[in-house]
Amino acid sequence: MRRYRKSVGFLAFFTGLILAAGCYSGPAATGSFDRNFSVTGPIRLELSNASGEVSITGSTDGKVHVHGDVHASGFGFDNPQKRLDDTLANPPVEQRADTIRIGKDLQNLRNISIAYTIEVPHDTEVDANVASGAQSIRNLRGPVKIRAASGSISVEKIERDADLTTASGSISANDIGNDAHVSSASGSVSVSNVKGDVRATAVSGVIRISQPGGRVEGKTASGEVEIQGAANDVKAHAASGRVSVQGNPGNTCLWDLKTASGGVQINVPASANFRLTAEAVSGQVRTDIPIVIEEEGKHSLRAHMGNGGGRVEVRTASGEIRISGTK
């Protein structure tokens, strides 16, 4: 229930942005603007946008380039052309010391959609909030903190932490130099090549994590959890969906794998060392690799491989548990 309350609060946070976007109907006017800033040293980019795609890329020229494609719409006696002209004459972009702020005074941007293409120095920290629109961020030192009410999020080649949340949309995070925390209320989550810990949640959607460098936590209410290349602690829980983990539990690691409705698949190498506790309330526990059985029941199994250093604890209420070798 806490995840659902969090999602409701998250949507309420974006109400002001969505109201600023308004309803796009009637006549429309389009135009664009460009702004450039010279900066020295690390900078911080703060962005808020009611509607429109956002692309942020790290560059090497030590400058900030902001390009905005503006779409103004309205109905009745509204004058989209005047609002477009006002926006182009005074774009919502400003610099204050080492901070670039984009999207100020959103109350003046009703029925205005702006798609941003932004280039910043590589040594940039990003904090972005978008009500409606996809976001793409790549090649930055970070950290990056991205929020969206509706829209996909894609980040790549971030040297520090990545904290990503969307209420409706998919999330993709690749090549993260530290920890990655990702959450989607409705949408798939894909995370790969993270040097630190990974925490991924989805109320409704598939979670796929590959080559994590640290601990892994994947939770979904409705969907599959798939983890490849695990070598540290793993917590993979699904309320309704399959759980699959491939890797090698270390001597002090714990793999905690649970699903209420769905099967559990575990793939480990022949050299793995762990103790296994498995329970399938309505289903069978099957092993396709040599394993020393300590206690076996109709729906349960206690066993170990090697010297039994790590721990693998598996439970499913409805589904099969299978332990296989790595191909």
Residue-level pLDDT at 232 = 96
Domain-embedded: residue 109: yes
pLDDT mean over 203-210: 95
Confidence of residue 73 (pLDDT cuts 50, 70, 90): confident
Domain-embedded: residue 290: no
pLDDT greater than 60 at residue 20: no
Parent domain of 62:
23-142
DSSP 120-148: EESSEEEEEEEEES-EEEEEE-S-EEEEE
pLDDT mean over 295-306: 91
Find the helix or strand (DSSP H, E) in which 33 lies.
strand 28-38
Within 10 A of 51 (CB to CB), how many other CB atoms are there?
A: 23
Per-residue pLDDT tens digits for 110-162: 788 999 999 999 999 999 999 999 999 999 999 999 999 999 999 999 999 99
Domain-embedded: residue 117: yes
Domain-embedded: residue 187: no
Confidence of residue 21 (pLDDT cuts 50, 70, 90): very low
Residue-level pLDDT at 279 = 95
Residue-level pLDDT at 23 = 44
pLDDT mean over 23-50: 86
Domain-embedded: residue 65: yes
Residue type, 239: A
Question: What would the two tokens of residue 71 be?
Answer: 């779409």
Domain-embedded: residue 120: yes
Work out the mean pLDDT of the chain and round it to a whole number.
89
How many distinct structural domains can be found in the chain?
1
Cis ω before 290 (30° cut-off from 0): no
Residue-level pLDDT at 64 = 95
Domain-embedded: residue 54: yes
Percent of residues, the chain, with pLDDT higher than 90? 74
Residue-level pLDDT at 1 = 45
Within 10 A of 64 (CB to CB), how many other CB atoms are there?
A: 22
The answer to whether the predicted template modeling score (pTM) of the entire model surpasses 0.85 is yes
Domain-embedded: residue 67: yes
Torsion 219-224-229-231 (CA) sign: positive
**Triad 85, 90, 136: Cα angle to 5°:** 95
Look-up: residue for tokens 């976001």? 135
Residue-level pLDDT at 18 = 45
Within 10 A of 284 (CB to CB), how many other CB atoms are there?
A: 13
Residue-level pLDDT at 26 = 53
Name the residue among 255, 305, 302, 260 with its Cα closest to residue 281: 260
